[in-house]
């Protein structure tokens, strides 16, 4: 194989990579349960409420050619305070309602009780999905409502959008953009993609 053939092969592999929007779950797709200005996940399907703007935002992003991947920490499973079957039931319902291509979940307990590569702010879930779905992380976005999401997106090499829900916690890194909800985030992504 000559040098010209090698270069064209690398170029065609690059062009086959897809763009994705990685979405945190609680506070981005569904309403987070708030206690003392801190967000918590729903503990049952009955508590899982998809936010009003989410379906239209997902449809717009899909129409523009983005894969949609949910990346969510669910440490309550690892801590023994929430059953994994409940989370899986919520995700089955979410997948039936929205055009999401994949759900990545970290069930590890965190808080020093576990050490893994998948718990945000580490980028393991995004890297894993990128390998499976042939995603170009540099052309992709991470949308989340907590510092862990922003830091995870930066660590993976994605552009980041922070949805500010007014929680009692500080960001650790500056996001590329901020938005009031997923609808506004989708508009930013589509506007930036056209540039």
Q: Would residue 2 count as lying in a domain?
A: no
Look at residue 111 in the predicted model and tell me its pLDDT. Answer: 79
Among 26, 101, 145, 151, the active-site one is 26
Which pLDDT band holds residue 160 (cuts at 50, 70, 90)? very high
State how many domains the chain has: 1
pLDDT score for 6? 47
Residue 6 domain-assigned? no
Structure tokens given for 112: 């020093």
Within-domain flag for 44: yes
- Are the CB atoms for 184 and 191 separated by under 8 Å? no
Structural domain contains residue 163: yes
Residue 14 lies in a domain: no
- Per the prediction, the chain carries an average pLDDT of 92
Structural domain contains residue 158: yes
Encode pLDDT of 76-94 as tens digits.
999 999 999 999 999 999 9
Among 6, 24, 8, 26, which Cα is nearest to 16's?
8
Identify the CATH number of the domain in which residue 86 sits: 3.40.50.1000
The answer to the question of residue 64 being in a domain is yes
48 alpha carbon, distance to own chain's centre: 17
pLDDT tens digit string along 85-143?
999 999 999 999 999 999 999 999 987 777 899 999 999 999 999 999 999 999 999 99
Which is more confident, 26 or 8? 26
Confidence (pLDDT) at 16 = 85
The answer to whether residue 156 sits within a structural domain is yes
Q: Which domain holds residue 38?
A: 19-194
Catalytic residue at 24? yes
* Cα-Cα end-to-end distance for the chain: 37
Q: Of these residues, 24, 76, 101, 145, which one is catalytic?
A: 24
pTM, two decimal places: 0.91
- What the block records as the tokens of 93 is 């319902």
């Amino acid at each position: 194989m000559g040098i010209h053939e090698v270069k064209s092969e690398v170029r065609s592999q690059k062009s086959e990579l897809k763009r994705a929007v990685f979405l945190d779950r609680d506070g981005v797709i569904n309403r987070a349960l708030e206690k003392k200005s801190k967000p918590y996940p729903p503990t049952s399907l009955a508590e899982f409420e998809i936010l009003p703007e989410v379906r239209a935002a997902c449809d717009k992003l899909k129409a523009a050619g983005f894969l949609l991947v949910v990346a969510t920490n669910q440490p309550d499973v690892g801590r023994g305070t929430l059953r994994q079957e409940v989370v899986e039931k919520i995700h089955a319902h979410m997948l039936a309602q929205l055009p999401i291509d994949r759900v990545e979940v970290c069930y590890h307990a965190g808080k020093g009780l576990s050490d893994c590569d998948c718990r945000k702010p580490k980028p393991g879930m995004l890297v894993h999905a990128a390998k499976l779905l042939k995603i170009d992380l540099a052309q992709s976005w991470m949308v989340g409502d907590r510092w862990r999401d922003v830091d995870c997106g930066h660590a993976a090499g994605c552009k980041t959008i922070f949805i500010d829900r007014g929680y009692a916690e500080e960001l650790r890194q500056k996001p590329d953009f901020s938005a009031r909800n997923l609808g506004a985030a989708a508009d930013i992504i589509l506007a930036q993609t056209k540039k």
